Amino acid sequence: MTPEHHYSVDVEWLGNRGTGTSHYLDYGRQGLLTAAGKHDIEVSADKTFHGDRDRWNPEELLLAALAECHMLSFLHVAVLHGLVVTAYTDAATGTMVQQGDGGRFTSAELHPVITLAVAEGAASPSEEEFAALHREAAEKCFIANSVNFPVGHSPRLVVA
């Protein structure tokens, strides 16, 4: 039997300015994401779509989920290969195209910078080995395996 994992979040729209959705410009796009035992996340549409730029939008949340999932998968892969990661950052980017009133992501690119502690006299991974570790992490990432657009990786290795 394949293990299943179930998740639950609540979304509440906070943008009723008194007349609901009576007109496209008459309502706010603000909302609140909540989940039991977690901090609330204030959300909105992207500013382009009349949202609040101070709140997370769905596009940023999707990109954040991809970047975080890859980070967690890479950390796991590092342990499996006996590598000691001491720092990890990513400046992920994504491209979405608008098609009529809808749209879709066409790509995402992760730019992780990983610092490894390498013992004196030990060899750090080659560029090919480092790229292979990222491919392995990508194969293990639940979120990247759930989207229908390419998620690329432009990693940089720093040896401490």
Q: What is the pTM of this model?
A: 0.89
Say whether pLDDT at 76 is over 80. yes
Taking CA atoms, 6 is separated from 3, 9, 77, 159, in Å, by: 10, 10, 24, 38
Q: Return the minimum-mean-pLDDT range out of 78-82, 108-112, 115-119.
A: 115-119
Residues 44-69 have a mean pLDDT of: 93
**Residues in Cβ contact with 148 at an 8 Å cutoff, skipping those fewer than 6 apart:** none
pLDDT at 94 over 90: yes
Confidence (pLDDT) at 37: 94
Dist CA 52 CA 28 (whole Å): 8
The predicted pLDDT at position 133 comes to 95
Q: Which pLDDT score, from 0 to 100, does residue 15 have?
A: 87
Give the phi and the psi of residue 132 in degrees, each rounded to 5. Answer: -65, -35
Question: Cβ–Cβ contacts within 10 Å for residue 73, how many?
Answer: 20
Q: How far apart are CA 142 and CA 145, in angstroms?
A: 5
